Amino acid sequence: MNACFSRKSPAISFLCRGFFSLFLIVVASALSALVASTEGFAQDSFILKTEEIPAGMQFGRIPPQMKRLIKENPWVVDRGSIPALSKAIYENPAHWTIRKMVMVILATRINPYQDDIVYYGFVYRDKQTAEREYQKLARVQQLNASRSLLLRGEKSVILLFSDREDLFPQLMALRNTLQAKLAE
């Protein structure tokens, strides 16, 4: 019989359980550090702080009828919602390659329930996928060139979109802020 599970030697059994517990803690710590290194990027880099929002804008409020679809603002999109939301944004997304997705709605202070500026941040699993998906998003951006911008990081892409052309200065200010975050 294995000495670790023997009833005749409680000291050895206790010692084995201690090493096993320590082993589990080390493995859990390593895994959480690995997950945090990919997951924290989207939350920390793509979501603006209140002071980074362009002048005259604020985080938009979600209308009650939209709360089933959009959970919060800013929103780190849950895994189950990524396929449908990415498909609504661009054609033929490889949604299974999206590691993290963020959606942020900005509105003017006058109309807090509007979606005057929306941006979507995508973190992909690798550089090649990010490049391929960037090309697809570039087609969307080109169709709306007067009111949208596209940014690219190493494994990430951000699409900024406005309903109104007169908000282009705010879009540019937002682009500068997000581009600096991507460079970090």
One domain for residues 114 and 172: yes
φ/ψ region of 107 (left if φ > 0, alpha if ψ in -120 to 50, else beta) reads beta
Residue 50: what pLDDT? 87
One domain for residues 36 and 107: no
Residue 15: what pLDDT? 45
Number of domains in the chain: 2
Residue 7: what pLDDT? 54
pTM comes to 0.74
One domain for residues 132 and 149: yes
One domain for residues 59 and 115: yes
One domain for residues 92 and 140: yes
One domain for residues 58 and 147: yes
- What sign results for the dihedral spanned by CA atoms 47, 149, 91, 35? negative
Joined tokens for residue 69: 């679809």
One domain for residues 160 and 84: yes
Joined tokens for residue 180: 């600096």
Distance CA 119, CA 98 (A): 16
The pLDDT averaged over each successive group of 10 residues in the chain (184 residues) is 51 47 34 35 66 90 83 89 92 94 91 89 94 96 92 93 90 91 79
One domain for residues 90 and 10: no
By residue range, what is the domain housing residue 62?
Answer: 47-183
Angle between helices 168-183 and 10-46 in degrees, nearest 10: 150
One domain for residues 53 and 35: no
Residue 42: what pLDDT? 42
Instruction: Report the candidate in 166, 164, 42 with the shortest Cα–Cα distance to residue 104.
Output: 42
One domain for residues 66 and 13: no
